Chains A and B, each alone.
Chain A
């Protein structure tokens, strides 16, 4: 399943795979050359706790900015659901820059997050794009499996 969103800055195309180890492929093709970051936001996450890659457990509502190495994989859980969602960004390792956990409002270099989780994908080399050049970020998530490959076409 693929969705396309457009502004004057360019089209954003996201393909949702629902395959094991691959949830999204995100394509960004800017109209103008520049340095770009893609941010995945989760609001209303129904889990209170998060286990980071380094085994540290934090509250989902802690205001924390975590480096890529410590948040490459994160497990969301709570007391009644010890295996909530496991978000694995290993395949986007070269792009993952920071992960923000915000209970209030958190700002990272202009990227503002309010009561949400945000994965910032940015690489100082790979994210410098020419006009018309496509950035392709494959974002994995192990909790999502199996593929929806074809149902029917319904372009609008």
Chain B
């Protein structure tokens, strides 16, 4: 599944509140400010093409917002938090150390993670501050009197990975 395109807005959310800030330009100066709080059903919303007779053009993606503009108006739309890759805000940064170090990292807007064959380590998005040193999943089977481990996401049982 392709990741979200920057010019489109999520369609699956049933209901979303977004803030529409319209700067009405008159001549060369901005003389009016209108703030409109609307409830918008995402299902019928097709990205930047919602205003009758005007073409919204994507201008900028920030950490947690998107800015659009048409001939007279600016629109600011809240969005999920992304991570900065040094050049732009992106939904995630994937770095592959698999061949050399045996792990890969993912940095997203609110979390960073390091995936090993036998554990996942969680950090802040910059991978600087450790949050959880080790996450594992274990499967247990009830033997009639207690739970017995039968499988686990540990290196000894690692089979395959796909990214």
Contacts and interface: CB of A to CB of B under 8 A. Distances in A.
A42 B130 CA distance: 13
A105 B55 CA distance: 62
Contacts of B159: 4-6, 11
A39 B137 contact: yes
Contacts of A143: 110-111
Chain B, interface SS category:
strand
A12 B145 CA distance: 24
B136 interface: yes
Contacts, number: 181
B152 interface: yes
Interface in A127-156: 143-156
Contacts of A64: none
Interface of A: 1-7, 9-12, 14, 16, 18, 20, 24, 26, 28, 30, 34-47, 84-85, 109-111, 143-156
A36 B151 CA distance: 11
Contact of B108 (A10, A43, A146, A156): A146
A28 B139 contact: yes
Q: Which of A20, A26, A153 has the largest count of B CB atoms less than 10 A from its CB?
A: A20
Given A3-B117, A43-B134, A46-B131, 16 more contacts: A1-B104, A1-B106, A4-B158, A4-B161, A14-B137, A34-B141, A36-B141, A38-B137, A41-B134, A42-B132, A44-B132, A44-B134, A145-B110, A147-B92, A155-B161, A156-B161
